[in-house]
A = this chain, B = another copy of it.
Amino acid sequence: MIEERRVTDWWSTAVSEIRPGRITLRGYPVEQLIGRVTFAEQIWLMLRGELPSPGQGRLLEAALVAAVDHGPQAPSIAAARMAATCGVGLNNAVATGTGLLGDVHGGAGQQCMEVLERVAGGEEARAVVADFRARRAYVPGFGHRFHPRDPRRDPLLALVHEAVERGEVPGRALAAGLALEAALSDGRSRPVPMNIDGATAIIYAELGFPPELGRGLFVLSRSVGILAHAWEETEGGARIKGPLPRPLLAGYHGPPERDLPPKR
């Protein structure tokens, strides 16, 4: 005989309580949340334990809206589209895409938040930039291989500026991000402006999210684009879609054809 609590405690949570006829999320009965909080506020509540202020909710909402998609060039989107043609559920297609949002493909926002934490002014910003350059690494959240200037930067930063002015967020991460941007462009003919990862990192940091949840929130946002693309492929009816259209075949650069040694 064991105590029941040893087993139920193993799976204990502070997120939600489920009893017969009763569901509370972070203490709030679900029936009170329905119709009264936005989806973005619900996301905040579930991750943070308390509801955001209206201003915080709007800022989170803008960041979630901004990052939903960046087209089928992205391996996460391409993989989800291919999955949708392989005879798996739409949930598996979405899972395929989010599974690819790893440290390299989906981690820049999180890494940028970690950098922002280290920067309080121009001096630290210049030191950080020098450090990354010495390691021949990109500063996460800045520059973009497609966009000379990421079109999502300005509207997101404008919203942060307004929130700072209204006293809704402290403005520390914004200052750090701008200092990094200045340090990166200093003495360069071509500036290296913040990208979507940098701009949303500032928002998530201003809102008090830990860096790891920066990745988490990006996953929620990009899942929308992943689903939209997977669904488009589902509707198109393709079967077993590979990366290349027929009759193109993948190249080969391995050993020339050879015979197996006779003795085997």
Contacts and interface: CB of A to CB of B under 8 A. Distances in A.
A73 interface: yes
9 contacts: A11-B72, A12-B250, A28-B260, A31-B151, A46-B68, A87-B106, A95-B96, A98-B98, A104-B240
Interface of A: 1-40, 42-43, 46-47, 49, 51, 58, 61-62, 64-66, 68-76, 78-79, 81-83, 85-92, 94-96, 98-107, 145-149, 151-152, 154-156, 158-159, 212-213, 215-216, 219-221, 223-225, 227-232, 234, 239-246, 248-261, 264
A23 B12 CA distance: 30
Contact of A107 (B68, B74, B87, B105): B87
A147 to B, nearest CB: 5
**Residue among A6, A86, A151 with the highest chain B CB neighbour number at 10 A:** A86
A227 to B, nearest CB: 5
Contacts of A6: 245
A181 B232 CA distance: 33
Contacts of A61: 38-39
Contacts of A74: 240, 242
A154 to B, nearest CB: 7
Contacts of A250: 8, 11-13, 18, 71-73
A3 B1 contact: yes
Contacts of A9: 245, 251
A43 to B, nearest CB: 5
